[in-house]
């Protein structure tokens, strides 16, 4: 019974990683992807995506200021 939650956590982590990669690629092309677009697409990871993507967005903005 213990294996199911671990497997689910791993799959959420994998999803967040894939979404973060896509988000960064889009930012690299000069786009400004909306975090809520990804939350709507992947509601099962919504709060985690909000945190991770907001951090990436903030980091991107801080790098642009340099």
Sequential pLDDT tens for the chain (66 residues): 344 443 456 799 999 999 999 999 999 999 999 999 999 999 999 999 999 999 999 987 777 666
Burial class (CB in 10 A: 0-12, 13-18, 19+), 38: buried
In this prediction, residue 46 carries a pLDDT of 96
In this prediction, residue 60 carries a pLDDT of 75
Global pTM reads 0.78
In this prediction, residue 1 carries a pLDDT of 38
């Amino acid at each position: 019974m213990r294996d199911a939650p671990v497997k689910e956590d791993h799959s959420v982590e994998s999803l967040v990683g894939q979404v973060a990669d896509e988000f960064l690629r889009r930012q690299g092309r000069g786009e400004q992807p909306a975090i809520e677009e990804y939350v709507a697409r992947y509601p099962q990871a919504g709060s985690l995506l909000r945190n991770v993507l907001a951090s990436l967005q903030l980091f991107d903005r801080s790098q642009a200021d340099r």
